[in-house]
Each structure stands twice: as structure tokens, then as C-alpha cells.
Amino acid sequence: MADSEAVVAQTSSATAFTAAGYPPVYNDTNSDASGAAATKNVEDLTATGATTTMEDSNISFGATELTNYIADGSDLGASHHVAGTNSSLEASDKLSALSDEEERLWSIVRANSLDFNAWIALIEETEKMSEGNILKIRKVYDAFLVEFPLCYGYWKKYADHEARLGSMDKVVEVYERAVQGVTYSVDMWLHYCIFAISTYGDPETIRRLFERGLAYVGTDYLSFPLWDKYIEYEYTQQDWSRVALLYTRVLENPNQQLDRYFEGFKELVANRPLSELRTGEEAAAAALENSENGGQEVEGENLPNAVEQSSKPVSASLKDAEELEKYIAVREEMYKKAKEFDSKIIGFETAIRRPYFHVRPLSGVELENWHNYLHFIEGVGDLSKVVKLYERCLIACANYPEYWIRYVRCMEASGSMDLAENALARATQVFVKRQPEIHLFAARFREQHADVAGARSAYQLVHTEISPGLLEAIIKHANMEHRFGNLEDACSLYEQAIAIEKGKEHSQTLPFLFAQYSRFLFLVAGKVEKARDILDQALENTLLSKPLIEALIHFESVQSLPKRMDYLDSLVDKFIVPTADNPNVASITEREELSSIFLEFLDLFGDAESIKKADDRHAKLFLSHGSSPESKKRLAEDYLISDKTKLAKSSLPSSAPSVMGAYPNAQNQWPAGYGLPQGWPQVAQGQAQQWTPGYAQQSAYSAYGAYGTGYPQQQVPASVPQNAAYGAYPPTYPTQAFGQQSYAQPATAATLTPAPQSSAVPPTAYYGSYY
């Protein structure tokens, strides 16, 4: 058998779910690539993203190597890209010959590797300018597919290029990488099997490849194209027992074409004798059963006479009819059970309008449907079904951190830590690697599993690369250091962040940092004077703002008498009363809200004279203009609304780029002539959802009560209702639990419903909540 045929024939080439391609996240220690701690059943389910190690085909390389390849344009190595050339120098010369347009497009994708449109333009330009240069074609496809490994259409196109210009071994290499990158794609396995049928003559090689694919996608509701091709192949081989066995297997699970398969099975049974339909094992079992039944009948009976002997053919015919009836009845029972389960999931399945990957955002309805579907399947308690549905979901929803987080927490709750680690690695290293939310979750996950170094590395990655200056990351990191008794390190984090923000012109984050640091010093360290000094420093280093003055008011409200009434009054007056020397840029709503907050403070701690002064000022500035109904409603609710809800309303511009912001008009991911995935419904290209342009931070002082709970979602369209958030990690982090087979039974706490929150707090909590 040729090397490439040996690769194709491997029963499961990518079952190590914690493999070299996805090492443990934020840790210098590599985990065991063999995944020996997991059971075989779980191994058979979890190949997505694993890097295969093949003795006969050197195809293993990781994302880091390819990322460097994008950055500097260097070659990945002769074993991957320079086959058939006379020397590495010749290969380098061919790679360096780029057109001006190619150079321009390469510079774009090097600057922003998530610019999908630029990648597509680069691929098209490379194919046009280098139709016969397989080295340049490999370079652009390798680099693109590192960033977008779920674009199965481009894997197929890459394989076609290799078939045209390269060698058969290279085609196999591309297909193997493809089924690692998008393991749960029915169409990817279908293309690979079609290639194998056209290339190899050994039926066992082809069957083993079909079986590899069915192990991953055979229970997919839209898996019928692969089943059809497998059945069609066995028909050409006229191996009727295998055809019957395939029908039997496909009838066990819900499928969009389940009725057609049952009719096909009945037609097969009607046209072929039972002896041809049974496998060797089934025939042996039937013979044994007949032997046992025959022995019981003969025992104790007289020998039959001639008349009785003549009735034997009739008895044999009846026996055959009974066995055939039993054979059909068993399959019909499978079909009925599958139909019963089908009736429970058909609503979820028909609501999935885009089961494939694309950079365009999904609609809120479809996102919610995925959550509901996952919730239902988790309740079934079958680990295999749950894992496969999550993997299907994470093809369509790959750019949404909430689904990766939910998957990790679900696997963690079921005791499948290897699966949880693998999902977290794929999320943080490939699919949502530029989104702070996933790294903050990873840090908390690492901390909860006693990997302090890993947690610190995750936070550090956010501080230095993902979103420098992100307030939530600084707060969570400092709080973690405090939990481990490192108070000085926690304070150092705040001080370093403040020093960096001071160097920026008009930093919007700086007031929040000062306020949070003051709060931390007062509540955690018990350093009252230092907390006050921090707020005073804030006034010296930043412009007056509502959050900062509100912080000072809250601080004074929990201090012993006397209060610094005159000092606070002067600050409030300076903020809410614009003058020629001090033109205030704050909105009238912000100024009115701060004035109302100060009035409430005075009502608790001031005297009649100070209250009258502030009340007259408020009436002159705001009541004479007439407060809007919305503003009055806001003032009335101020004493009831929780800090958590306040934070959810806040938003502050950030320099962190939006991962999906560049995609509202992205092109179709399937190249011309490759169409949509087979068996998937055509959907109209709807107008793109609006996306948050940046990773927002808090913009109102309400952040101080519960800074981490309202973290805005980077990838979720604005149309997604807030109640779509799951669990309480914060609310954007989903929590799940389930189990089956050799795994722990699911805790009924596989809750998708957010924890109930109090809708009202005492008025005095308005001030007390800060501290």
C-alpha cells in the first residue's frame, strides 16, 4: 500500500484531543499528546483541532509556525512546501516574485490577519498571477487557513490545486489537515471520500475512511450526503450485507432523510434474500438460535412418518418468513425510536439557517436557538450527543466566545477535563484568540484549577497584547493577587496601569482606575487615608467627570463626621455649571444626575442651608428647562436600580479592535464553483448585524458597585437579548453540566437560567454599595 493510501486508511488519525497542535493554554508544560487518560469513546469524538502525527507523512505543524510565516513571508520548510524543486534557493526565488497587488494585499493581512475580504482578494490574485506556481499557492492557502480553518470550501480548492500541480501525497496531506481543522463538517469528509474512491482501488481503504468520517458526523442531522455516498459505493461493490448494515446504522438516529432511508431499506429487503443481507455475525447468531430451538423440539418426540417428512419444506419456508419478519421488525423499531426523537429536535434543526461557518454575524434568533438546542440535548444525558452538538454549534458560532465558554464549563461539569482543555485551547489559540472575554474566562478557569501561573499568563496576555488598559482585566487580576495574599502585587497592578494611562492624552480610563484603586484600598486594605489621597490625586491628574465626583461623594458618605461638604459642593458646582473659563462637555443628563446624587447626599448629611443652596441651583439649571420624562424616570429609579444593572448600561470607548468589525460586508466564504454545503438550506444574504466597534469599558460611576458583571460581549450582535446570557460567571459566561456512559451523571444544575436578582434595594444602599 502506498504511503498516501496508508494515511487515508488509518481508522482514526486524529483522536488525540490534547495534541501538539493545541498545547495546554498559558502553561509551559506540554500535556500528553496521546490523551491516554481519556476513554476510547471520548477519543473517537474529539479530534477537532488536533495535529496528527503520521509516521509516513510529515504533515504536522502548528499555528505558531504558520503565524510567523504570515508575518515575515518565510518558507515553512522543504518538507511542506518545496517538493519537486531543485534547491531551497530556487523555491525562495519563486516565492519572492510577487506582483504589486499581491504585495499590497499581503501587507494588509499581515497588519490585520482577520481581514477576511483581503484574504479572499489575495487568494484570487495569487491564483490569477501564479496559476502554475504551487509554492505561492501553498503559501497563501496555508496562511489563510490558519486564521480561518473552518472554511471547508477553501480546503477543497487547495486540494484541487495540489491534485493539478502537486503530488497525490500532497493532496492527502491537505485533506488530512482539512479534517483536523473542520472535523465535524459533513461536506469535508464527503469530499475526502470522493477523492479516495477516485484514487484508490482497495475497498477496505475507502471503507476505513468512510468509517472515520461517520465516527464524527454520522449522527449529524444533515449527514445524509455522506451516508448516501457510502451506500452508493457499497452498491457498486454489490456487497449486500454491507448495504443492509449501513441502512441499519443510519436508521438508529434522527436524520433529515430518515423516511427515505427506511423506504430504501424495505426496497432492499424486498429484492434480496435474507441470506445475502445478513452479516456473518448475524447469520451465525441466527443459526445458533435455530439449533437451540430445534434441539428442544426433537427431544422426547417420536421419529416423523413420511407425511410429516413431506411438510418440512413448508416449515422451512415459514421459518424463513418469520426470520425475515423479525429482521425487518428490529429495524422498524429503530426507525420508530429515531422518529420519536426526531419529533423532539425538528424545531431546533429547522431553525438552524446557517450551519456552516462564515465571518458574518448570526441573527439573534439563531444564536438563541443554539442555546436552547444545547440545553435540550444536555438534558438527554448522552455525552456523545452533547459533544457532537457542541462541535456542530462551534462551526456556525466559532466567533462567539460565549459558546466556547459554555462548552468548557459543560465538559468541566461532566468531569471531562481533557475535552474542556481542548476546547479552551482552540478558543484561546485560534477561533476567538483576539477577544479579551475568552482570556479573562481562561484566567479564572486556571485559577479555579490551581494553575496560578497559567492564570497570571492569561491576564498578562490581555494587558500586553489583546486589550492593553482593559479595566476589567486589571481589576480581576488585582483581585486574584489579593486572594493569594499578594496585596503589594495587587496595588502594583493598579499603580502601573495608572502610570500608563497618565501618559495618554485625555485618557477616559484613568478616572475609573483611580476610583477603583481607591475602592480597593478602602475595602480590602483598610487604608482610609491612602484611599482618599488616591481620589485627590485623580482630581489633580484628570478632568472633572461624573464618575470621579460620584466616587468622592460615595467615599464621604461612608466616612465618619464631619463630611467635606464645602469641598464636594465646589466640585459639583464646577462640573454642573458651565462658565466661559470652564466649558463643560458633559451632557445635561449627566450634570442633572450628578446634581440629584449630591442632593440626596445632602439630604442625609447636610444642614438646611446647604440643602437650600444646592436645591436652588438644581432648580435654576434643570427644572426651568424642563426635565425630560426619561430623565425623571432615571432619577426615580436611581435608588432602586442595582449596581449590576447600572454597569450593564455603561459603555466606554476602548482602543481594542473589534474582531468582527471588519466583516459586515464580507464575501461568501465558498469559492466560485464550490457552492454551499450539500444538504444545507439556501438562505438569503441578510443585512449584516451591527457590531460593537470596540471592546467597551465602563462609562458611568455605577461600574464601581459590580465592575465585572456587565462586561459587554464583543461578538454578540446587539439584537441578542440580555437574557441569552447563561450562568453567573459573569452572566456572559455560560455554565452547564451533564454526563453519560462512563462519565458522571449530569448535575441537574445544568442551569441555563440566570440566577435571580433583586430588583430593588433600600435607598441607603445607593451610597453603601460603593463600599
Report the distance separating Cα 120 and Cα 127, nearest Å. 11
**What are the counts of helices (DSSP H) followed by strands (DSSP E) for the chain?**
36, 0
The predicted pLDDT at position 735 comes to 34
pLDDT greater than 80 at residue 551: yes
pLDDT single digits (tens) 517-536: 999 999 998 899 899 999 98
Region 604-626: mean pLDDT is 83
pLDDT greater than 70 at residue 271: yes
pLDDT greater than 50 at residue 771: no
Report the distance separating Cα 336 and Cα 299, nearest Å. 39
pLDDT single digits (tens) 430-463: 999 999 999 999 999 999 999 999 999 999 999 9
The three-class DSSP label of residue 180 is: helix
Which comes out higher in pLDDT, residue 610 or 771?
A: 610
Is the distance from CB of 534 to CB of 518 less than 8 angstroms?
yes
pLDDT greater than 80 at residue 127: yes
Which comes out higher in pLDDT, residue 295 or 393?
A: 393
Which comes out higher in pLDDT, residue 392 or 47?
A: 392
pLDDT single digits (tens) 459-482: 999 999 999 999 999 999 999 999
pLDDT greater than 60 at residue 699: no
- Residue position matching grid coordinates 489579593: 482
Report the distance separating Cα 47 and Cα 6, nearest Å. 19
DSSP string spanning 730-748?
Answer: STTS-------TTSPPPPT
Among 43-52, 154-163, 399-408, whose mean pLDDT is lowest? 43-52
Report the distance separating Cα 429 and Cα 21, nearest Å. 10
| Of residues 720, 717, 730, the one with CA closest to residue 757 | 730
Region 566-586: mean pLDDT is 79
Report the distance separating Cα 398 and Cα 410, nearest Å. 17
Q: What share of the chain has pLDDT > 70, as a percent? A: 63
Which comes out higher in pLDDT, residue 704 or 267?
A: 267
DSSP H helical ranges for 130-185: 134-147, 152-165, 168-181
Residue 657: beta bridge partners?
A: 694
The predicted pLDDT at position 667 comes to 44
Report the distance separating Cα 81 and Cα 167, nearest Å. 12
Which comes out higher in pLDDT, residue 144 or 624?
A: 144
622: confidence class by pLDDT, cuts 50, 70, 90: confident
Instruction: Find the radius of gyration of the CA atoms of the chain.
Output: 33
Report the distance separating Cα 100 and Cα 108, nearest Å. 13
- Residue position matching grid coordinates 449529524: 220
Cβ neighbourhood burial of 56 (10 Å; 0-12, 13-18, 19+): middle
Chain centroid offset of residue 660 CA = 14
Among 435-444, 586-595, 603-612, 629-638, whose mean pLDDT is lowest? 629-638
Is the distance from CB of 647 to CB of 707 less than 8 angstroms?
yes
Is the distance from CB of 453 to CB of 441 less than 8 angstroms?
no
Which comes out higher in pLDDT, residue 668 or 590?
A: 590
pLDDT single digits (tens) 327-356: 999 999 999 999 999 999 999 999 999 999
The predicted pLDDT at position 583 comes to 61
pLDDT single digits (tens) 221-256: 999 999 999 999 999 999 899 999 999 999 999 999
The predicted pLDDT at position 557 comes to 85
41: confidence class by pLDDT, cuts 50, 70, 90: very low
The three-class DSSP label of residue 694 is: strand
State the chain's mean pLDDT as an integer. 73
Residue 652: beta bridge partners?
A: 697
The predicted pLDDT at position 329 comes to 92
- Torsion angle of the four alpha carbons 518, 522, 525, 530, in this order, in degrees rounded to the nearest 10: 60
Report the distance separating Cα 713 and Cα 431, nearest Å. 15
Region 62-91: mean pLDDT is 36
The three-class DSSP label of residue 637 is: helix
Q: Is the dihedral of CA 154, 158, 163, 169 positive or negative?
A: negative
The predicted pLDDT at position 336 comes to 96
Q: Of all helices (H) and strands (E), which one includes residue 382?
A: none
Is the distance from CB of 425 to CB of 411 less than 8 angstroms?
no
Chain centroid offset of residue 451 CA = 22
Q: What share of the chain has pLDDT > 90, as a percent? A: 44
pTM above 0.75, yes or no: no
Report the distance separating Cα 458 and Cα 446, nearest Å. 9
Is the distance from CB of 747 to CB of 379 less than 8 angstroms?
no
Report the distance separating Cα 750 and Cα 381, nearest Å. 11
604: confidence class by pLDDT, cuts 50, 70, 90: confident
Among 197-211, 299-313, 715-729, whose mean pLDDT is lowest? 715-729
Among 270-279, 377-386, 577-586, 726-735, whose mean pLDDT is lowest? 726-735
The predicted pLDDT at position 195 comes to 95
The predicted pLDDT at position 263 comes to 94
User: Distances from the Cα of 245 to the Cαs of 150, 210, 252, 258, 332, in angstroms?
Assistant: 32, 14, 11, 15, 14
Is the distance from CB of 63 to CB of 146 less than 8 angstroms?
yes
174: confidence class by pLDDT, cuts 50, 70, 90: very high
pLDDT single digits (tens) 491-505: 999 999 999 998 888
Report the distance separating Cα 717 and Cα 664, nearest Å. 11
DSSP string spanning 589-610?
Answer: HHHHHHHHHHHHHHHHH--HHH
Report the distance separating Cα 43 and Cα 46, nearest Å. 5
